[in-house]
Amino acid sequence: MSRAPAGKVRLQKYLSEAGVASRRRAEELIREGRVLVNNAIVDELPAFVDPKHDQVIANGVPVKPQRHEYFIVHKPKGVVCTNRDPAGRIRALDLLPDLPTRLFPVGRLDADSTGLILMTNDGELAERITHPRFGIPKTYRAEVRGQVSADLPAAMKKGVHLAEGKAQAGEVEVVHASRQRSILMITLREGRNRQVRRMLARLGFPVKTLKRVQIGPLSLRSLPVGAARRLTAKELNTLRKELEAITPASSVTRPRRSRSPLNPRRKQASAASSKRATRREKASVAVRKKITSSNKPAASERESQPPPKRRLIT
């Protein structure tokens, strides 16, 4: 993946953080030719923008950066960590007060898990927290069936083989152990899907309850279940200092596969690129004319979200 030039950010990231749409939907808008940068249609990726100097228009509406917001949510069981849920379930987003900006969860907890969720529109900070190469610690309280063996902490730290590879825990502490149940505090520096549940199930101890209690220096403290609050300035500064102090692990460079010049996919991509160039020339004039001739901005096509069934905090 190519890096952004100095002073610029990826266009889809800029659109997402401005509340236009999710990053994936923003990529679709760009490819559909519905985004202009300095009055020129941009319909190919990667694309970059200077937030301080470039003018960006999406769906006929000027895009302006929004103030970064940071919230901690104490997620109850049954709440989902997605901003779009066709089933109409309560989302972590619904636990926040009404805000003029679009926030998203940093990492996810499955519906059956509870605990700390960080909600923000700061994409750069979110990436540093969730990307495994930064190794931000996340601590969970897991209750399992049965009495765990004395060697379970060492086994989890050594690594458990899952479908996508070996998963490891950073620290494991047995807080309580009896015949009926055991309670463990587990710290991860990875971010695999349902990692704690899958590791413990593989070792023969199905999880009864799982709660995330800490992300880096952030904790729930006395925040009630279902409630949300803004991060304090001290918490945010401490989090940023911890992120800045971490040296990201070097990524492994994988050899690229050689591609045949007769690959039909490459031919199709080349033909599509030519069509896009022609379409861009024709559409650019039409779009600019439409925007300048109308004093009424078109309605922004932000993602439609089902109304919350209930709001646990206002």
- Encode pLDDT of 125-149 as tens digits: 888 898 888 889 999 999 999 999 9
Mean per-residue pLDDT, 14-19: 82
Q: What proportion of the chain, given as a percentage, has pLDDT over 70?
A: 78
- Confidence bin at 169 (pLDDT 50/70/90): very high
- Confidence bin at 234 (pLDDT 50/70/90): very high
122 is catalytic: no
- Confidence bin at 312 (pLDDT 50/70/90): very low
- pLDDT, residue 22, reads 77
Q: What proportion of the chain, given as a percentage, has pLDDT over 90?
A: 55
How many structural domains are present in the chain? 2
**Given 215, 245, 275, which residue is the final one in a domain?**
245
Residue 305 lies in a domain: no
Greater confidence (255 vs 160) lies with: 160
Instruction: Give the span between the Cα atoms of 263 and 267, in whole angstroms.
Output: 7
- pLDDT, residue 277, reads 52
Do 159 and 212 lie in one domain? The reply is: yes
Do 103 and 48 lie in one domain? The reply is: no
- Confidence bin at 256 (pLDDT 50/70/90): very low
Residue 155 predicted with pLDDT over 90: yes
Mean per-residue pLDDT, 102-110: 90
Residue 253 lies in a domain: no
Residue 36 lies in a domain: yes
Residue 151 lies in a domain: yes
Do 53 and 165 lie in one domain? The reply is: no
Residue 35 lies in a domain: yes
Do 210 and 144 lie in one domain? The reply is: yes
Residue 255 lies in a domain: no
Q: Pick the catalytic residue from 43, 94, 110, 122.
A: 110
Residue 102 lies in a domain: yes
Give the domain range for residue 39: 9-62
- pLDDT, residue 17, reads 77
Strands 160-162, 138-145: pairing kind: unpaired
- Residue pair 75/92 in contact (Cβ under 8 Å)? The answer is yes
- pLDDT, residue 268, reads 61
- pLDDT, residue 121, reads 87
- Confidence bin at 57 (pLDDT 50/70/90): very high
Do 226 and 191 lie in one domain? The reply is: yes
Do 76 and 51 lie in one domain? The reply is: no
CATH number at residue 17: 3.10.290.10
Across the chain, mean pLDDT equals: 82
- pLDDT, residue 299, reads 38
Do 200 and 153 lie in one domain? The reply is: yes
- pLDDT, residue 71, reads 96
CATH number at residue 178: 3.30.2350.10
Do 158 and 225 lie in one domain? The reply is: yes
Rg of the chain taking only CA atoms, in angstroms? 23
Residue 4 lies in a domain: no
Task: Give the lowest-confidence range in 75-89, 138-152, 210-224, 279-293.
Answer: 279-293
Greater confidence (107 vs 270) lies with: 107
Do 48 and 83 lie in one domain? The reply is: no
Do 227 and 161 lie in one domain? The reply is: yes
**Given 245, 263, 279, which residue is the final one in a domain?**
245
- pLDDT, residue 42, reads 93
Residue pointed to by tokens 């309850």: 209
Residue pLDDT, tens place only, 176-204: 999 999 999 999 998 788 999 999 999 99
Do 120 and 212 lie in one domain? The reply is: yes
**Given 198, 214, 245, which residue is the final one in a domain?**
245
Do 104 and 233 lie in one domain? The reply is: yes
Instruction: Give the span between the Cα atoms of 92 and 75, in whole angstroms.
Output: 7
- pLDDT, residue 162, reads 93
- pLDDT, residue 309, reads 41
Mean per-residue pLDDT, 107-128: 91
